[in-house]
Amino acid sequence: MRILIADDHDMVRETLSAYLENEGDAQVETAHSLASALELAKKSGPFDLILLDYDMPGMFGLEGLKQALEAQVARGVAILSGNAPHSVAQDAIDNGAIGFLPKTMTAKSLVHAVQFMVAGETFFPVSHLSDQAEENPLAKQLSKREFEVLNGLCRGLSNKEIARELELQEVTIKLHVRTLCRKLEAKNRTQAAMIAKEARLF
């Protein structure tokens, strides 16, 4: 997979590139601004995925996302951020981003998220779910880990895929799914996901 990382911090670019090249078997190009990213992408694209830092020069909030999408130089465009609030993460997805990645993610989680997006799926971390979801009465019944597993069920992931994403054992995920079904009064994982979506948890 071909990835373009655009971030104005050298250390961030180098660290993310190393993660993706060493653990994700990716071919990575880097840029330090939106303008240089788009120029590079037009010359050597298209890329499977472009990761844009929300706070770097030229982005002007999500205006940079719009420009990258209109340039049509990648199959997907995602936003990177170290401190953007819930609302920005949701706005990014609503405006066409294929994902939102906190810079606090572990190396394995980052690689899994990128692979997920390259496969055409939208990545939205549980830690950046909307305030409305967090205040939902149904959500208050669940532990943080159960919430993460339920998020995976709603995205149609298998137990194995959820285990890999959360860096847990598959048997642990099975136990969480069983608990979720009991708490949500669902007959199976599919119904649990339907209940969560109807309650607008995700």
Percent of the chain with pLDDT strictly greater than 90: 39
Q: Are residues 107 and 82 in the same domain?
A: yes
Q: What is the spatial distance between Cα 112 and Cα 131, in angstroms, rounded to a whole number?
A: 25
Identify the domain containing residue 189 by its residue range.
131-198
Q: Are residues 113 and 140 in the same domain?
A: no
Give yes or no for residue 173 having a pLDDT over 90.
yes
Q: Are residues 88 and 63 in the same domain?
A: yes
> Residue 78 in contact with residue 102, Cβ under 8 Å?
no
pLDDT tens digits, residue range 40-97?
999 987 899 999 999 888 899 889 999 999 999 999 999 998 776 667 887 888 899 9
pLDDT tens digits, residue range 9-25?
888 888 889 989 887 78
Give the model's confidence band at 131: pLDDT under 50 very low, under 70 low, under 90 confident, else very high: very low
Number of domains in the chain: 2
Residue ending a domain, among 81, 109, 127, is 127
Residue ending a domain, among 87, 111, 127, is 127
pLDDT at position 90: 79
pLDDT tens digits, residue range 152-171?
898 888 999 999 888 889 99
Average pLDDT score over residue span 175-202: 89
> At 146, which CATH number?
1.10.10.10
Closest-CA residue to 201 (of 143, 139, 149):
139
pLDDT at position 181: 94
- Reduced to 3 states (helix: H, G, I; strand: E, B; else coil), residue 55 is coil
Half-sphere exposure of 135 toward its Cβ, with a 13 Å CA cutoff?
3
Omega within 30 of 0 (cis) for the link into 137: no
Q: What is the spatial distance between Cα 65 and Cα 59, in angstroms, rounded to a whole number?
A: 7
Give yes or no for residue 130 having a pLDDT over 50.
no
Q: Are residues 137 and 111 in the same domain?
A: no
Ramachandran angles phi, psi of 19, nearest 5°: -55, -50
Q: What is the spatial distance between Cα 36 and Cα 175, in angstroms, rounded to a whole number?
A: 47
pTM above 0.85, yes or no: no
Q: Are residues 96 and 187 in the same domain?
A: no
Average pLDDT score over residue span 117-142: 69
pLDDT at position 132: 45
> At 8, which CATH number?
3.40.50.2300
Give yes or no for residue 195 having a pLDDT over 60.
yes
